[in-house]
Structure 1
Amino acid sequence: MTSRLPLHAEFLLLAHDDRSGRPLIDSTHLKAGLAGAAVTELTLQEALRLEGDGRSARLHATGRAVAPELEEALARADGRSPKDAVARIGGGRSWRDRAGHLEAATLAGLEGAGVGVRGEQTVLGVFHRKVWREQDPAVEREIVERLRNAVRATGEPDTRTAVLVSLLSATGLLRKVLPEQDKRVLAARAKEISAGQWGGQAVATAIQEVEAAVVAAVVAAGAAGASS
């Protein structure tokens, strides 16, 4: 594969461990990050536009066609605030696994492109769980190298790489993807990249709102888990 993957596909690919085939983060973090990546991808494709300011800001569909895997996410985000969009797509406010369809469709796309293959693993001879087996490691290597260059450099990376760094940092994946980097330095650089002025102002504002929504979802899940 020579073309760059959409953000939700890159995020999901990096979220799986190469050896075990299992996610590197828990389902809440995974769903929030995947939802945020999908909304951001729709914004970058200009299929969604943020209108209004502050609490009244809402995402609105522009009528631009999107890939089939993103159609449901687009419909759920239309007319919503970034925070509500992430919650509705990620299933943060529902007993339904709303992110499951997006995850399955994204992995199916990666499988069709020859990046990897979905499978099942038997645990204790009884339980079955889904796993992801990488087939073309060059794809992930290119993404990781791009991230590594972004956090090592002093300038601003391209918009898509900057967004990916921010989403990975918000969900706790960045330090897992780049374990050789000093954690404090990595966190500081991720914060610097998130605050950058990459992209147009309108798009940058929308993306920053989505990133904040992902962080809020992760924090809320952590607080709920601590109190239970």
Structure 2
Amino acid sequence: MHPDQLHLHEELLLLALHDTKGTLGGAHTSIGLGGAIAAELLLQERIRIDESRRWRKLVEVRDIRRTDDFILNECLKRIRSANRRASIQTWITRFSSMRKLHHRVAEQLCARRILQADEQEILLIFKRRVFPEIDPGPEREIIERLRAAIFSDDREVEPRTVVLTALAHAVGLLNPTFGRGELRPRKQRLKSLVKGDVIGRATANAVEAAQAAVAAAAVMPAIIASSTSSNSS
């Protein structure tokens, strides 16, 4: 990767953060970040999905060399050191549960001078970290890439943009970015992008990681509700 190129988890977080408040939007951003990390490792060919088993596709390490990203390196190490292989859905859930994941991704963007770390008081008692945007250029470029992919019928779309579109769609970030009314006529195009109709097999696994993220996001409320019910009984 070019040193100035953002990783998928960094791009997704820029879309999720409020530009001026620096607060996080989207109910499923954490699971989306987990999906973005898995997709990034697939795109960089650090991991692969063993498709020899029809019903149980497991992740395995393909390249043990370090990346230029601390979070990716940590996740790659987790996969390597695991006692048992696991599915992409399992790894996405594990990645999304990493402590202060969105803070860590935001701090990387601060190091790039795109965001700024601040503290915000809540009710004069609590404090929380926020990450307002100080350089809007990278997010604008991301949005323009997404716009070009969604609002055209071009068959040749850059693979990373296809994967980011699938991730943003999975966690509900496209509507606040473009508006529901503007997206409605492009429903079929979005469906085609998310299905991976405009890409090759190499990128299709990364799109599947995005789809796995939305599947995990869909069941998360039920898991939380079940846990709450068990604790209260």
Give your verdict on TM over 0.5: yes
- 1:172-187 map, 5 Å: 172-179=172-179, 181-187=181-187
| Conservation of the 8 A alpha-carbon contact between 1:83 and 1:209 | no
Instruction: Decide which of 71, 74, 77 is 1:75's aligned counterpart.
Output: 77
Task: Please tell me whether residue 165 in structure 1 is matched to residue 165 in structure 2.
Answer: yes
Aligned to 2:22: 21
State TM-score, norm by structure 1: 0.86
SS, match of residue 135 in structure 1 = coil
Amino acid at match of 2:4: S
CA separation in 2, counterparts of 1:129 and 1:198? 41
- Structure 1 164/139 Cα, relative in aligned 2: closer, same or farther at 3 Å? same
Report the more deviating stretch, 120-129 or 64-73: 64-73
Aligned to 2:221: 222
Task: Please tell me whether residue 11 in structure 1 is matched to residue 17 in structure 2.
Answer: no
Deviation at 1:180, TM superposition (A): 6.8
Larger radius of gyration: 2
CA separation in 2, counterparts of 1:181 and 1:198? 24
Report the more deviating stretch, 176-185 or 153-162: 176-185
Aligned to 2:135: 136
- 1:44-193 map, 5 Å: 44-52=43-51, 53-62=53-62, 63-66=64-67, 67-78=69-80, 79-91=85-97, 98-100=98-100, 102-156=101-155, 157-179=157-179, 181-193=181-193
CA separation in 1, counterparts of 2:35 and 2:13? 11
Deviation at 1:99, TM superposition (A): 5.0
Amino acid at match of 1:159: P
- 1:27-46 map, 5 Å: 29-46=28-45
CA separation in 1, counterparts of 2:115 and 2:105? 11
Report the more deviating stretch, 64-73 or 146-155: 64-73
Amino acid at match of 1:73: C
Amino acid at match of 1:10: E
Gaps of 5+ in 2: none
State TM-score, norm by structure 2: 0.84
Deviation at 1:3, TM superposition (A): 3.4
Write out per-residue CA displacement over residues 83-121 of structure 1, whole angstroms, 9 at most, x where no aligned residue.
Answer: 111111112xxxxxx152x43332122111110111111
CA separation in 1, counterparts of 2:143 and 2:122? 30
CA separation in 2, counterparts of 1:192 and 1:49? 23
CA separation in 2, counterparts of 1:143 and 1:135? 16
Amino acid at match of 1:150: A
CA separation in 1, counterparts of 2:99 and 2:197? 30
CA separation in 1, counterparts of 2:153 and 2:47? 31
- Structure 1 15/186 Cα, relative in aligned 2: closer, same or farther at 3 Å? farther
CA separation in 2, counterparts of 1:14 and 1:21? 11
Deviation at 1:216, TM superposition (A): 1.4
Gaps of 5+ in 1: 92-97
Paired residues in the alignment total: 218
Report the more deviating stretch, 187-196 or 166-175: 187-196
- Structure 1 203/160 Cα, relative in aligned 2: closer, same or farther at 3 Å? closer
Deviation at 1:136, TM superposition (A): 0.6
Structure with larger RCO (C-alpha < 8 A, sep 6+): 2
Identity %: 33
SS, match of residue 117 in structure 1 = coil
CA RMSD of aligned residues (A): 2.3
